[in-house]
Amino acid sequence: MTGALAASFIFLVLPLAAENTYNEKVVIVIGPHREVIMGSELEMKEMRLAAGHFDKAQGLYQEGRYSEAAAQYEIAARHEPLSADIFNNLGAAYSCLGQRKKALGAYQKALELDPRHTAALSNLRKVSDEKK
């Protein structure tokens, strides 16, 4: 499990934001590793929605409500399909539900997105070893 996604992002909408060719405002976000992320308002809305579902899933997971947590992680993944953290945590929820095949798929997706995601790598090995 990783930390809360929403708490790890700082959203800045500057009054003098740059405009793209479609006259959309460009939003600047400071990511969890202090990286700067820029995107359209729509892209940032999707990121905020993902963060809300991720945080809700985290709470459900901590309460042992793994099925509900998995459902929230799935929604978060639809809003933010490039987040290795979301897929890693989705895999953890599936693993707790005994859904090994789904857990393996989620961990593999996390590693496709971030091959150095140490938690996903560790979790993938753990679930893979369970069958042996």
* Per-residue model confidence (pLDDT) at position 95: 96
* Per-residue model confidence (pLDDT) at position 2: 42
* Per-residue model confidence (pLDDT) at position 36: 58
What domains can you pick out in the chain, each with its CATH number?
6-130 (1.25.40.10)
CA pair distance 16, 26, nearest whole angstrom: 10
Model pTM score: 0.73
Residue by residue, pLDDT tens for the chain (132 residues) are: 444 444 455 555 544 444 544 555 555 555 555 555 556 666 777 788 888 899 999 999 999 999 999 999 999 999 889 899 999 999 999 999 999 999 999 999 999 999 999 999 999 999 988 765
* Per-residue model confidence (pLDDT) at position 123: 96
Written as one letter, the residue type at 45 is: K
> At 13, phi and psi to the nearest 5?
-115, 105
Residue 16 DSSP code: T
Query: Tokens 């140490």, residue?
Result: 118
* Per-residue model confidence (pLDDT) at position 85: 93
Cβ neighbours of 112 (radius 10 Å) = 13
> At 40, phi and psi to the nearest 5?
-75, 165
* Per-residue model confidence (pLDDT) at position 28: 58
The separation between CA 54 and the C-alpha centre of its own chain, rounded to angstroms, equals 7
